[in-house]
Structure 1
């Protein structure tokens, strides 16, 4: 069990490391593609890769389990990413960045209220959450002239985070069925893509293959499709399976830190005292949230 927990922590860190640098790739792709074109293409690539990697079909033991696969697809793949991308068109990225730090909190609350296998929400969980939220706030608001509340965008961002909390708990439920993690991820992707289809026409999906085949765009799309989608969803599902939905979600606190560091390296952005302080608070919050309380 101890070895599994170590492995779960390693896969959790690898996952958020990749997710932390997806913003750089997405920023490059947004030069020629709209958010839905990027979203659909990356998950279609991810699904294709997973089928190639592990082609064995998944045989469902109980037809009722299919409902949970469908719910995981519409929450973690379709709804979360669509709402987050749409929110960014209405409100500032700094707002969305801070709101995204609520993911561990909502994961814990959703699991505590709705899931039968309840994970205990300890005092350290809430203390760590507050410290991490302060850290993410410092990171997100660094350099911002003013914090502006936009009801539509901020509400969409909050909704997307609540949905991610649902997905985290659904992932743990799927992990309890004993299926291969790749098969579970692949099934989730299939449902996510199916539920995404109606949005393609609504958001004017018209991707140009000639643009996609250009060097930097192809590289970044492959990174999002194969790395951030296919591989990362497999490693994330494994992390949730081993550590639980709440413990796994705490790694999300690291995403803004990784984004800041990689932005300084690749985008030549400046590392300020506020960013440094935010990183310290976020790491401290993660450490405290993971610390066991003495009885």
Structure 2
């Protein structure tokens, strides 16, 4: 049986990932004024993989993996790349954060389903390597699969036009969203069932809404706040043991 504290830590990792991914829409909107969506996707994967490689080298981790697990990593990398394509397609410059029933909203639903499938496969494939190493190879594969986009669009020509603020957004997307976010999601799946971890995906629109209100000064909508509260209640119910652990920790003090 998994200790409750381990479950709480895993849920914290999943919550951090969702927070990063929710804010990513705001950062993407800032960068897409200069970069096309697909070049942004390639740079996210490339810089994210580079960041993870640095962490692995600093930890003196082994980079070698069994050849038998390469197909598993390729499949996972493809799912991550597909999810990225869905997301950059919905976050083009000039779009608002209103979740209307349009093509962009449908793509976001497909992205969520795709990410749920990814989570289930990552859990079921039982790849016997740390989440950090697995995430590095998935990001590297995602980079290689999407590299033709930046070559076709000559996306590197737009990089000199980025301001310091836009570079900060780009690095946030690469390091925290594509690097740490995927890594922490994998760490959560090492402990919790895929079904429980995937429930945190429902918090992503809420994180996006909060970020849009505070960073982009978009209007506060009461019905969105009510929906967010309902989502939080649902996640707490699914992960009920975590609430009991928090309560017991508080009362012990």
Normalised-by-shorter TM-score class: 0.7 to 0.9
Aligned residue pairs, count: 234
**What is aligned with 1:255?**
204
**What is aligned with 2:238?**
289
Deviation, 1:245, is 1.4
Q: Does 1:69 align with 2:73?
A: yes
Distance 1:52 1:198, change over 3 A: same
**What is aligned with 1:167?**
118
- Normalising by structure 2, report the TM-score: 0.82
- Which structure 1 residue ranges, 5 or more long, are not aligned? 95-139, 142-146
Distance 1:24 1:14, change over 3 A: same
Q: Are 2:90 and 2:108, in contact at CA under 8 Å, matched by a contact in 1?
A: yes
What CA RMSD, in Å, does the superposition of the two structures yield over aligned residues? 2.3
Distance of 1:65 and 1:165 partners within structure 2:
21
- Normalising by structure 1, report the TM-score: 0.71
Select the residue among 70, 80, 85 that pairs with 1:82: 85
Deviation, 1:254, is 1.2
Select the residue among 193, 200, 219 that pairs with 2:150: 200
Q: Are 1:71 and 1:170, in contact at CA under 8 Å, matched by a contact in 2?
A: no
**What is aligned with 1:8?**
10
Distance of 2:101 and 2:12 partners within structure 1:
37
Distance 1:258 1:84, change over 3 A: closer
Q: Are 1:37 and 1:207, in contact at CA under 8 Å, matched by a contact in 2?
A: no
Distance of 1:253 and 1:43 partners within structure 2:
24
Deviation, 1:202, is 4.6
Distance 1:73 1:238, change over 3 A: same
Q: Give a deviation string over 1:115-150, Cα, whole Å, max 9, x none.
A: xxxxxxxxxxxxxxxxxxxxxxxxx55xxxxx5555
Q: Give a deviation string over 1:184-217, Cα, whole Å, max 9, x none.
A: 11111111111112333455534423124x2101
Q: Are 2:112 and 2:201, in contact at CA under 8 Å, matched by a contact in 1?
A: no
Distance of 2:224 and 2:101 partners within structure 1:
20
Q: Give a deviation string over 1:61-85, Cα, whole Å, max 9, x none.
A: 3x33111100011111x11111333
Deviation, 1:4, is 1.7
Deviation, 1:36, is 0.9
Alignment of 1:27-176 (within 5 A): 27-55=29-57, 56-61=61-66, 63-76=67-80, 78-87=81-90, 140-141=98-99, 148-150=101-103, 156-173=107-124, 176=126
**What is aligned with 1:276?**
225
- Which structure 2 residue ranges, 5 or more long, are not aligned? 242-253
Distance 1:58 1:31, change over 3 A: same
Q: Are 2:25 and 2:91, in contact at CA under 8 Å, matched by a contact in 1?
A: no
